[in-house]
């Protein structure tokens, strides 16, 4: 099928018009789209298509009244790659869609709206790979000027976005004398989205519903671009604007907030919902896709009960396994470490499971401190998602394993940072080589992680296109080369 003549340009990048994409399957997709590589995949349930976005580019998809965008994996794992979905009208559906890869920021990934009197559905949506810290905008923004109907979200996974996970309050503003519509959220999972995780409310008096949702906090990423308070982290659980919001059968680790009279007279009512420290944020509602591939194929490994990642030796959305095993001739010896990011206990790990006498404390500044005690050949273990800031223990009495490899404290605690920032030049590549005297590790908290970035003995090399690369290192920088316009930031003992 030839590319539709009505396909148009957005933001000086090639867009994908809905008539040239929706309903297209198999090998014909590549010819219809003209957008990088497209592969057909087979999962346990539905077949799905993969659209691969090249480095430094952004792809746009449009959905109109009565149309369905489904069984699509948007691969934006290339450096600086991203995408946008615009949906507007009545009776449209976005189903089994995944954004795979870190979002470099600068725009919202999904901008939906429903026309007056209409309804639309978003279900099985994966946005779990997050956004580069320090960038602007982020997850979902419900388009206020166009949203007057009812928009239902179900089985969505939204994690680590900078400017709201689901921003659904803009329709409450008064546009051209009309009032905004309703946003409902069902059976969904949110994790550490900055400003708010779920932000809903309608001006016209209709109630917005949040049912069987889980909000987890503790690893929020800061906003530095377009923020009222650059560097701030505030992961509100449910934020009500304009009108009534009913929260039911949910676990919300972040706070409930009713906006002040700048946004009407919002109220939050709660039924069978646990808030704050009482919330069971380890569970994920049944049906929520836990990976991009699950979303695109319409499957889910979430059971609705407590769910943490127990695999060792891998760094994923839940973290890398750290094990601390006490020597066999020790008794009740203690340890303490602090991570910039998030830490979870592993409570089903046999002789190295964390117990009630081990604690994880959120310090409120983006760091978490862990204290514990063990002995007699037993130990504790944790899922770590972030960078080690400090670690206090007697190494002669402990064996440390991180990601399946035995390590020392000096391997884990790297005091210095270097960030190569190409966000100001989103379509220009910058290559770099850093020579250093100590040890180094790529930092997901400081930038993206790409396969073409390498760390060898005494040298870091890579390139950025519209994104950031960040590293933790020890020792000193002994040499540096940069080919391109990226900015460089070095922080020592931070």
pLDDT, tens digit (0-9, with 9 covering 90-100), for 100-159: 998 999 999 999 999 999 999 999 999 999 988 888 888 999 998 899 999 999 999 999
Residues 445 and 464 occupy one common structural domain: yes
Residues 397 and 343 occupy one common structural domain: yes
Looking at residue 35, its pLDDT comes to 37
Report if residue 307 sits inside a domain: no
Last residue of a domain, one of 367, 385, 412: 412
The one-digit pLDDT tens for each residue of the chain (494 residues) are 222 222 232 333 333 333 334 533 333 333 333 333 333 343 346 789 999 999 999 999 999 999 999 999 999 988 889 999 999 999 999 999 999 998 999 999 999 999 999 999 999 999 999 988 888 888 999 998 899 999 999 999 999 999 899 999 887 777 666 567 999 999 999 999 998 999 998 887 789 999 999 999 888 887 776 666 677 788 899 999 888 999 999 999 988 888 766 666 788 899 999 998 888 888 999 999 999 999 999 999 887 766 543 333 333 335 788 999 999 888 889 999 999 888 998 877 777 888 877 889 888 888 899 999 998 888 999 999 889 999 999 999 999 999 888 999 999 999 899 999 988 887 888 999 999 999 998 887 787 766 678 898 899 999 988 788 899 999 999 999 999 999 999 998 76
* Sheet with strand 477-483: strands edge to edge: 454-456, 459-464, 430-436, 477-483
Residues 256 and 376 occupy one common structural domain: no
Q: Which tens digits make up the pLDDT trace of 351-397?
A: 788 887 788 988 888 889 999 999 888 899 999 988 999 999 999 99
Which two structure tokens, joined as six digits, stand for 466?
A: 């519209």
- Which residue range(s) make up the domain with 474? 416-491
Looking at residue 452, its pLDDT comes to 74
Distance between CA atoms of 459 and 440, rounded to whole angstroms?
9
Which two structure tokens, joined as six digits, stand for 289?
A: 């896709």
Between the alpha carbon of residue 255 and those of residues 198, 217, 383, the distances in Å are 11, 10, 24
Could you tell me which of 337, 410, 409 has the C-alpha nearest to residue 371? 337
Query: Containing H/E element for 462?
Result: strand 459-464
Report if residue 405 sits inside a domain: yes
Kindly give the pairing relationship between strand 454-456 and strand 459-464.
antiparallel
Number of neighbours of residue 442 by Cβ within 10 angstroms: 19
Report if residue 306 sits inside a domain: no
Number of H helices, E strands in the chain: 4, 39
Q: In this structure, is the dihedral angle defined by the CA atoms of residues 300, 303, 306 and 312, taken in order, positive or negative?
A: negative
pTM of the model: 0.62
Report if residue 310 sits inside a domain: no
- Report phi then psi at 221, rounded to 5: -100, 140
Report if residue 23 sits inside a domain: yes
- Alpha carbon of residue 491 to chain centroid: 25
Residues 364 and 459 occupy one common structural domain: no
Residues 61 and 169 occupy one common structural domain: yes
Residues 6+ apart with CB under 8 A from 23: none
Residues 469 and 335 occupy one common structural domain: no
Distance between CA atoms of 154 and 437, rounded to whole angstroms?
50
Residues 483 and 373 occupy one common structural domain: no
Which two structure tokens, joined as six digits, stand for 346?
A: 């592993």
How many structural domains compose the chain? 3
Helix (H, G, I), strand (E, B) or coil at 242: strand
Report if residue 269 sits inside a domain: yes
Report if residue 354 sits inside a domain: yes
Query: Containing H/E element for 31?
Result: helix 28-33
Residues 170 and 269 occupy one common structural domain: yes
Q: Taking all residues of the chain, what is their mean pLDDT, rounded to a whole number? A: 83
Number of neighbours of residue 149 by Cβ within 10 angstroms: 20
Last residue of a domain, one of 262, 297, 332: 297
Looking at residue 176, its pLDDT comes to 62
Could you tell me which of 101, 100, 123 has the C-alpha nearest to residue 112? 123
Residues 388 and 429 occupy one common structural domain: no
Report if residue 303 sits inside a domain: no
∠ Cα 351 361 132 (to 5°): 100
Distance between CA atoms of 94 and 96, rounded to whole angstroms?
7
Residues 445 and 349 occupy one common structural domain: no
Residue 403 burial (C-beta neighbours within 10 Å; 0-12, 13-18, 19+): middle
Residues 404 and 285 occupy one common structural domain: no
Last residue of a domain, one of 297, 330, 356: 297
Residues 407 and 454 occupy one common structural domain: no
Which two structure tokens, joined as six digits, stand for 287?
A: 């049906």
């Amino acid at each position: 099928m030839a590319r539709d003549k009505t396909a148009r340009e957005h933001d000086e990048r090639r867009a994908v018009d809905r008539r040239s994409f929706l309903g297209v399957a198999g090998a014909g997709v590549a010819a219809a789209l003209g957008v990088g590589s497209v592969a057909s995949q087979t999962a346990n349930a539905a077949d799905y298509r993969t659209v691969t976005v090249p480095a430094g580019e952004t792809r746009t998809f449009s959905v109109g009244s009565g149309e369905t965008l489904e069984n699509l994996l948007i691969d934006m794992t290339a450096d600086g790659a991203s995408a946008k979905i615009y949906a507007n009208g009545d009776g449209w559906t976005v189903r089994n869609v995944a954004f795979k890869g870190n979002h470099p920021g600068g725009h919202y990934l999904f901008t939906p709206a429903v026309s007056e009197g209409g309804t639309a559905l978003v279900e099985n949506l994966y946005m779990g790979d997050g956004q580069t810290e320090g960038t602007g905008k982020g997850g979902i923004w419900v388009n206020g000027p166009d949203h007057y109907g009812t928009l239902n979200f179900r089985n969505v996974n939204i994690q680590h976005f900078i400017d709201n996970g689901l921003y659904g309050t803009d329709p409450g503003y008064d546009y051209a004398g009309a009032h905004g519509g309703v946003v409902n959220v069902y059976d969904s999972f949110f994790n550490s989205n900055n400003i708010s995780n779920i932000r809903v409310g309608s001006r016209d008096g209709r109630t917005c519903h949040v049912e069987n949702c889980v909000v987890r906090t503790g690893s929020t990423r800061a906003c530095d671009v377009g923020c009222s308070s650059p560097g701030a982290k505030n992961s509100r659980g449910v934020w009500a604007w304009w009108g009534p919001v009913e929260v039911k059968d949910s676990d919300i680790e972040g706070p409930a907030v009713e906006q002040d009279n700048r946004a009407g007279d919002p109220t939050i009512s709660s039924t069978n919902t646990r808030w704050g420290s009482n919330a069971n944020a380890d569970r994920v509602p049944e049906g929520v896709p836990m990976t991009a591939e699950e979303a695109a194929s319409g499957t889910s490994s979430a059971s609705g009960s407590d769910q943490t990642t127990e695999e060792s030796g891998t760094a994923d959305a839940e973290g890398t396994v750290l094990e601390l095993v006490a020597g066999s001739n020790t008794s009740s010896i203690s340890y303490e470490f602090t991570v910039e990011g998030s830490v979870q206990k592993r409570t089903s790990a046999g002789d190295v499971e964390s117990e009630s006498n081990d604690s994880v404390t959120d310090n409120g500044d983006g760091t978490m401190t862990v204290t514990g005690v063990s002995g007699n050949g037993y130990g504790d273990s944790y899922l770590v998602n972030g960078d080690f800031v400090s670690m206090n223990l007697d190494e002669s009495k402990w064996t440390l394993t991180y990601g399946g490899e035995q390590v020392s404290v000096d391997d884990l605690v790297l005091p210095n940072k270097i960030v190569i920032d190409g966000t100001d030049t989103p379509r220009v590549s910058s290559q770099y080589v850093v020579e250093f005297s100590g040890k180094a590790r790529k930092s997901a908290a400081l930038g993206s992680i790409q396969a073409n970035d390498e760390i060898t003995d005494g040298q870091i090399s890579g390139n950025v296109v519209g994104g950031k690369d960040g590293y933790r290192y020890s020792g000193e920088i002994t040499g540096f080369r940069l080919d391109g316009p990226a900015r460089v930031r070095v922080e020592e003992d931070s």
